[in-house]
Amino acid sequence: MSETAVAPPTHFIRQIVAADLAAGKHERLVTRFPPEPNGYLHIGHAKSIALNFGLAQDFQGQCNLRFDDTNPNKENPEFVAAIQADVQWLGYDWGERVFFASDYFEQLYAFALELIDKELAYVCDLNAEQTRSYRGTLTEPGRDSPYRERSVAENRDLFARMRAGEFEDGTRTLRARIDMASPNINLRDPVLYRIKRGVIHHQTGAAWCLYPTYDFTHPLSDALEGVTHSLCTLEFEDHRPLYDWCIEHVSVPTRPRQIEFSRLNLEYAVMSKRILTRLVADGLVAGWDDPRMPTLAGLRRRGYTPAAIRDFCTRIGVTKADNRVEMGLLESAIRDDLDASAPRAMVVLRPLKVVLENWPNERLDTLEAPRHPKNSDLGTRPLPFGRELWIDRQDFAEQPPKGFKRLVPGGEVRLRNAYVIRCEELIRDASGALIELRASVDFNTLGRNPEGRKVKGVIHWVAASAAVEAEVRLYDRLFQTPTPGAGGEGGGGDIIADLNPDSLVVLSGCKAEASLGSAQPGERFQFEREGYFTVDPDSTEPSLVFNRTVTLRDTWGKQVAAQDSKRQTAR
């Protein structure tokens, strides 16, 4: 493939695919994305989706969506539906080609009989523990099962009776007859079928009480679908000989090739579905779509765009090197996207009233501001401006620290998109707490510099009479350590103890500019000076709920989170 400016970045799998196609090995590239419907998809899956669907797009091939549904106890139709919605949301299309491994149960059963007939599979009566002890270790070979030499007729009979539900769970398995002394433990007569009676499968109902294992199902499903390149994560490298063994010894129509790449690990996040399931089940997050979750549903609710996630997947690339990607990389992908696309708005998160004493009581002007500093196609927004305004408490300091450029007693500041004001007086309640500022406006400063002096600071504001009430949810990283659960030296840490106590701070009574009154769930904005935010589906008129997607700059570890959480507890 010739490299052009628009060519997607190359990587070893793309090179293999290009070479195979150039050599005429296949007419057409066929890949698949094979999720198990036992949870929601996460950002790690996005890497696999972008790779499989992306290659199919780039080479005019096709990518199948195949549910790997051989473990009915943990799977359910909610996950099937959520996975389809998430893949579509990411921007990929499987057309008609959505499949379930369970579609092939009958064919897989026939393949198993074929192996029995070739004396390459047998019914084994060892239970799970015995099977383990016969298996040997990395340094010692295994021992043959006493049931290994059963006749074809006996194996056929027992296998049929396993299917008929005559035997209890765990009492018998079907095993491949390969080599108990193989240095690769996966080849020591691996289990192909196990009995699971009494479970209702979400696709096949009560039709089966015998379920094939992943190692048997996956290669044969790939072959039945005509998959040419079966891309999976590195932990399956040791399973590849078994993958190839299944393809070789069963009469399948095509010969797929397994290629492994490294999985995505992300700092301050976990990808294990087991742990994500636990977070949801134990109520440690609000659900699979909690905006702190690394799930696609969570990222969507957080305000991430499909384009940013695809861009992130391109940036991390595809290699065989195990690594952990910095959270900052994901955050910068969404910042870059939203900086270019998100309309600007002003929202005061911690309101402090300012009364402009020289502004006429009833006068309410309408100023105008661009919706986007660089993209004039987005037009302008009207900004009501009156005698009473809200500013952020953090933009005023009675005793300013060194270098503080915002409002101070007797000092001036520019209100963004409006005038310069001067703080004239502090109003306190009976306990002495500051409740309001009195200020004066310089009428000659709309759109121009004040005369004879420089005013450095610029702050955002909202006109009190036109403000829209909002709740703002400040989301941060779910975990406070880059490798959650890893523990200190020696490992063995408790992942729950690594949760970030400040991962959510809810601010109520926030004041949004009037133009946000009609904002709809899913719309995204830059709140000037604060970050990127999206309207949460919890929003109901007239009160809006916004989720913080990401701060404007990488402030992780700096004071911001700590300050917000102190304020929250003080409320």
**272 interacts with, out of ligand ATP, Mg ion, none, CB within 5 to 8 A per kind:** ligand ATP
SS3 assignment, position 196: coil
The CA angle 61-66-71, to the nearest 5 degrees, is: 160
When the beta carbons of 38 and 563 are compared against Mg ion, the nearer one is 38
CB-side exposure of 50: number of CA atoms within 13 Å? 25
Q: Up-side HSE of residue 297: CA atoms within 13 Å toward CB?
A: 17
Considering the rule CB under 5 A, would residue 36 count as an interface residue with Mg ion? Answer: yes
Residue from 48, 145, 332, 503 touching ligand ATP (CB under 6 A): that is: 48
Q: How far is the CB of 263 from ligand ATP (least distance, A)?
A: 3
Pairing mode, if any, of strands 458-459 and 434-442?
unpaired
CB of 216 to ligand ATP, least distance (A): 15
Size of the site for ligand ATP (CB under 6 A): 15
Question: What is the rounded CA–CA span in Å between residue 171 and residue 210?
Answer: 12
Give the count of alpha carbons within 13 A of 210, CB side only: 23
Beta bridge partners of 193: 174, 212
Catalytic residues: 36, 263, 273
Q: How far is the CB of 36 from Mg ion (least distance, A)?
A: 5
CA-CA distance, 407 to 63, in Å (whole number)? 58
Query: Which residue has its beta carbon closest to Mg ion?
Result: 36
Q: What binding mask, one character per residue, do residues 58-97 give for ligand ATP by CB under 6 A, x or -?
A: ----------x-----------------------------
Per CB under 6 A, the segment of 42-50, 348-356, 363-371, 410-418 that binds ligand ATP is: 42-50
Q: How far apart are the C-alpha atoms of 250 and 527, rounded to whole Å?
A: 60
Q: Which CB, 221 or 480, lies closer to Mg ion?
A: 221
Q: Which residue is nearest to ligand ATP (CB)?
A: 44
Which H or E element spans position 548? strand 544-550
Shortest reach from residue 429's CB to ligand ATP, in Å: 53
Report the alpha-carbon distance of residue 9 to residue 438 in Å, rounded.
Answer: 58
* String of DSSP letters for 312-364: HHHHH---S----B-HHHHHHHHHHHHHHHPPEE-EESSEEEEEETTS-TT--
Report in angstroms how near the CB of residue 7 gets to ligand ATP at its nearest.
23
Residue 82 structure tokens? 């959520």
Positive or negative, the Cα torsion across 79, 84, 89, 90? positive
Pairing mode, strands 524-527 and 344-345: parallel
Closest separation between CB of residue 486 and Mg ion, Å?
22
What residue type is assigned to position 135 of the chain? R
CB 118, min distance to ligand ATP, A: 29
Instruction: Collect all residues with Cβ–Cβ distance below 8 Å to 430 and sequence separation of at least 6.
Output: none
Nearer to ligand ATP, 254 or 277 (CB): 277
Q: Which amino acid is at 105?
A: F
Among residues 162, 174, 250, 264, which is the contact residue for ligand ATP, using CB under 6 A?
264
Helix (H) or strand (E) segment spanning residue 560:
helix 559-570
44-52, 329-337, 406-414, 534-542 -> range binding ligand ATP (CB under 6 A): 44-52
The CA distance from 32 to 259, in Å, is 12
Taking residues 272 to 311 in sequence order and writing x for each that binds ligand ATP by CB under 6 A, - otherwise, the string is xx--------------------------------------
* Per-residue tokens: 115: 């192996």
- Find the part of the chain contacting Mg ion (CB under 5 A) among 33-41, 117-125, 189-197, 315-323: 33-41
In the set 74, 163, 249, 263, which binds ligand ATP (CB under 6 A)?
A: 263
CB of 85 to ligand ATP, least distance (A): 15
Q: Which is nearer to Mg ion, 270 or 383 (CB)?
A: 270
CB of residue 521 to ligand ATP, shortest distance in Å: 28
C-beta closer to ligand ATP: residue 47 or 175: 47
Binding mask 175-214 for ligand ATP (x = CB under 6 A): ----------------------------------------
> How many residues in the chain?
571
Listed in sequence order, the DSSP H helices in 171-305 are: 214-225, 240-249, 273-281, 296-302
For residue 524, the tally of other CB atoms under 10 A from its CB is 21
Residue 43: in which H helix or E strand, if any? Answer: helix 43-58
Q: Shortest gap between Cβ of 223 and ligand ATP (angstroms)?
A: 16
Binding piece for Mg ion, criterion CB under 5 A, among 32-40, 271-279, 306-314, 473-481: 32-40
Angle at 491 between CA 490 and CA 493, to 5 degrees: 135
Measured between alpha carbons, how far is 244 from 187 in angstroms, rounded to an integer?
11
Which does residue 44 bind out of ligand ATP, Mg ion, none, counting CB within 5 to 8 angstroms by kind? ligand ATP
Residue 403 phi/psi, 5° resolution? Answer: 85, 0
- Applying the rule CB under 6 A, the residues between 21 and 40 that interact with ligand ATP are 34-36
For 15, the token pair is 């090179």
Q: Residue 434 is inside which H or E element, if any?
A: strand 434-442
x-or-dash string of contact with ligand ATP, 219-238, rule CB under 6 A: -------------xx-----
Nearest CB to ligand ATP, comparing residues 273 and 406: 273
Question: What does the DSSP 8-state code read for residue 383?
Answer: E
CB nearer to ligand ATP: give 264 or 345.
Answer: 264
The item of Mg ion, ligand ATP, none sharing an interface with residue 35, based on CB under 5 to 8 Å by kind, is ligand ATP
Number of residues that bind Mg ion (CB under 5 A): 1
The only residue of 17, 44, 479, 550 in contact with ligand ATP, by rule CB under 6 A: 44
Single out the residue of 113, 152, 271, 307 in contact with ligand ATP (rule: CB under 6 A). 271
**How far is Cα 483 from Cα 469, in angstroms, rounded to an integer?**
38
Tokens of 91: 């921007």
- Point out which span in 10-18, 35-43, 144-152, 215-223 binds Mg ion (CB under 5 A): 35-43
- Please, which residue, 36 or 554, has the CB nearer to Mg ion? 36
Residues forming the site for ligand ATP (CB under 6 A)? 34-36, 44-45, 47-48, 68, 232-233, 263-264, 271-273
Residues forming the site for Mg ion (CB under 5 A)? 36
